[in-house]
Amino acid sequence: MTQQIQAAMDSEIRNLDWMGPQTKAKALEKLHGIVNKIGYPDKWRDYSGLEIRRDDLLGNVQRGDAFEQRRQLAKIGKPVDRSEWITTPQTVNAFYDPQMNDINFPAGVLQPPLFDGRLDDAPNYGNTGGTIGHELTHGFDDDGRQFDARGNLKDWWTKKDAAEFEKRTTCLTDQYGKYIVVDDVHINSRLTLGEDLADFGGLVLAIVAWKAEAAAHPAPQFIDGLAPDQRFFVGMAQWACSNERPENLRVNASIDPHSPNKYRVNGLVANFKEFEQAFACKPGQPMAPVKRCHVW
């Protein structure tokens, strides 16, 4: 699935009508330089020098800290190990590292109800496909776009293309800034822009990749009463099932770079004609607004 999503991004970059050839060339160089870290490391870390005792919790913590400090200090003067994992395979998360230009998908995040091999492609592309696209897009969001293919802090955008990018992202900040988190607190859409951009780009790529997959391998028309395009969006929303206290929502509105889960789904899909068509929304309804944002 990762290859299909990356191929979709290659196609999307090449066909962008607002990005010039010079910036496109650098963007494609960066895209094809991204390293995929999927599941678990190719090379396991050697812990043979770490002593663990069943009856010595404090000592284990102290020896573990000392072991890790020695491991980090041993890196001094050596080339960067780009194959190193900074997370465990059991971690239920995924992320993009701009300085390494890699996407990281531990085995823990590739399990039901997120990715489920027993399901058809539609919900899996909606969920995991969207997450893969999300992390890829982080390489080109308001922060990630400042790093080049080798992870160096470098401006590779022409002034014209950078200005066009900023213009298009303003649509998202305006949209999300109108949403109320709790009481009178609105989303700080400048803070959440990077994640909102990644959500947007991820869904674009997931749709493109899934449509290509569905054309090559048609799925059953209805499963549990839902058509394939409906199952795609249900799968996309599945990860965001949550229930938060108002106090937590208020705190996160100030410090969390992610929009509340409600708007990471509803705010996102409102920008997509495909959602309107899948669920027969009428133009002008809240989930089918007249004005839609378009970046990637």
Catalytic annotation, pick one of 121, 195, 199, 229: 199
For residues 148 and 156, give the distance between their C-alpha atoms in angstroms, rounded to a whole number. 7
The pLDDT, as a whole number, for residue 140 is: 95
The set of residues, in sequence order, having a beta carbon less than 8 Å from that of 144 and lying 6+ positions away, is: 96, 98, 138, 194
CATH of domain 2-39+87-278: 3.40.390.10
173: DSSP letter: H
For residues 96 and 28, give the distance between their C-alpha atoms in angstroms, rounded to a whole number. 17
3-state SS, residue 52: coil
Q: Enter the tokens of residue 231.
A: 């199952």
The pLDDT, as a whole number, for residue 202 is: 96
For residues 212 and 227, give the distance between their C-alpha atoms in angstroms, rounded to a whole number. 17
Active site residue 135: yes
| Sign, Cα dihedral of 249, 255, 260, 261 | negative
Local confidence pLDDT in tens for the 296 residues of the chain: 999 999 999 999 999 999 999 999 999 999 999 999 999 999 999 999 999 999 999 999 999 999 999 999 999 999 999 999 999 999 999 999 999 999 999 999 999 999 999 999 999 999 999 999 999 999 999 999 999 999 999 999 999 999 999 999 999 999 999 999 999 999 999 999 999 999 999 999 999 999 999 999 887 889 999 999 999 999 999 999 999 999 999 999 999 999 999 999 999 999 999 999 999 999 989 899 989 998 88
For residues 171 and 7, give the distance between their C-alpha atoms in angstroms, rounded to a whole number. 26
pTM score: 0.92
Location of each CATH 3.40.390.10 domain in the chain: 2-39+87-278
Catalytic annotation, pick one of 97, 102, 121, 135: 135
Active site residue 17: no
CA distances from 59 to 45, 46, 50, 52, 237 (A): 21, 20, 11, 8, 44
